[in-house]
Structure 1
């Protein structure tokens, strides 16, 4: 995905159980609204807690 602000490459990040896109060029953050990706995030978190 490309950044809508500067067209740089967006990277997926996780913070406080939330997924978001982060642009390393202009340092903007965009929330990810996809519920399926949120489920994957929560599943991964539960694996690291055991």
Structure 2
């Protein structure tokens, strides 16, 4: 992974997978934000009909 500052001032991680796909991740998102996203995903998944 390579870390850099984007033109908008955000800290970004760039990674390239083994298959050659390039991905960019905003490194400034707080880790506890992931917990909220995961909980929202669980609620959405449970509310969808099977």
TM-score range, shorter chain: 0.3 to 0.5
Greater relative contact order structure (CA < 8 Å, 6+ sep): 1
Give the structure with higher Rg (CA).
Answer: 2
- Structure with more of its chain in helix, by fraction: 2
TM-score (structure 1 length as normaliser) = 0.38
TM-score (structure 2 length as normaliser) = 0.38
